[in-house]
Amino acid sequence: MTGAEVHALIQEADRLQQAYLDAYNRQDLETSLRIGADQLLPIGEQLAHTDAHFLDPLAITLRNLAGICYQLKRLIGAFYFGQRALDLACAIEEQNLPLHPFLGDVSVVVSAYAVEIVYKRWPRPWELPAPEENLLGPAVAQVPRSIARMRQLESFAWAAQLRVAATVLCHLDDQPDLGMLDDESQAMVELASFAYEQGRSDITISEIEEVLRLWIRQLDGGRRFWSTQLIETWSVAADLLDRLERPESAWWIRQAIQQAVAARQQAGLTNLASFSEKLDLREHYRAALAALH
């Protein structure tokens, strides 16, 4: 991107920021959210790709969008944008760049949103407003990374609330997208790793037990038998089980991985969807679960 193109983007970002602030100041929150999320945010993301110094204003925009969503009682949107702001705030500090004071409490805000999600009396899934329903998947997708950020901040209690929030959001969808279940699985194993670091072997075991039960339910329901996205996640789970002296359970998980990798290689890249649907590894997961205790 040329210097002139970057300058033009900065000017457009300034114009849109003024427009969305004007809408906010006159309490037209819907318009403010629409301008901020649909127009200002994409430009902020473009600028951040050109220079890390644009990460800070992008994170502030995300933090503001989270606050607007919260005022509109769109808790899922608040959780989604808040998590993205948290991720950027951590990235900014990692690069030793100045962090705006407005971002200093973003981890607290995100954890508070997670707690509200966990304890909120939600309407039936089909009664969720469209903007909230559309952000279910993106919000859950952010959770594994948010838990990793909480690990950096050594905030285990908040990380645990994030994991439970991911499960609650998955339950708000009558037929959760399979990608959401992958993200929930990753969140469970990420929390299990964090718990191991904290010396909480009981929670490590319980999280791996939960992810195994999640997958057994999926297999018994006939929706699918393997996810090509979870090989690394299952490998982490097996490593944790070895460290916790559960070698038999770890062995069964690795057997599932090896069988899936072999089948994938045999199927070839053109038939991944087909082999994923037909590969039945439920006995491996059941054996791993039985060997946990």
The tens digit of pLDDT for each residue in 215-260 reads 888 877 776 656 666 889 999 999 999 999 999 999 999 998 888 7
222: left (phi over 0), alpha (psi -120 to 50) or beta: left
What burial class does residue 34 get, using C-beta atoms within 10 Å of its C-beta: 0-12 exposed, 13-18 middle, 19+ buried?
A: middle
Structural tokens at position 50? 């050109």
Q: According to the model, what pLDDT value does residue 93 have?
A: 95
Between CA 52 and CA 45 the distance in angstroms is 11
Contact 263, 190 (CB under 8 A): no
Measured in degrees and rounded to the nearest 5, phi and psi for residue 88 equal -70, -40
Q: Note the pTM of the prediction, 2 decimals.
A: 0.92
The tens digit of pLDDT for each residue in 263-288 reads 777 766 555 555 555 577 888 999 99
Rounded to 5°, the CA angle 263-210-276 comes to 20
* Non-local CB neighbours of 196 within 8 Å, separated by 6+ positions: 204, 240, 243, 244
The tens digit of pLDDT for each residue in 53-112 reads 999 999 999 999 999 999 999 999 999 999 999 999 999 999 999 999 999 999 999 999
Q: According to the model, what pLDDT value does residue 173 have?
A: 81
Q: In the block, which residue shows the tokens 């929150």?
A: 29
The tens digit of pLDDT for each residue in 145-189 reads 999 999 999 999 999 999 999 999 999 987 777 889 999 999 999
Q: What is the 3-state secondary structure (H, E, C) of 146-165?
A: HHHHHHHCCCHHHHHHHHHH
Between CA 205 and CA 61 the distance in angstroms is 39
Nearest to 225 by CA among 217, 237, 235: 217
* Non-local CB neighbours of 5 within 8 Å, separated by 6+ positions: none
Burial 114-133 (b: 16+ CB within 10 A, else e): bbebbeeeeeeeeebeebbe
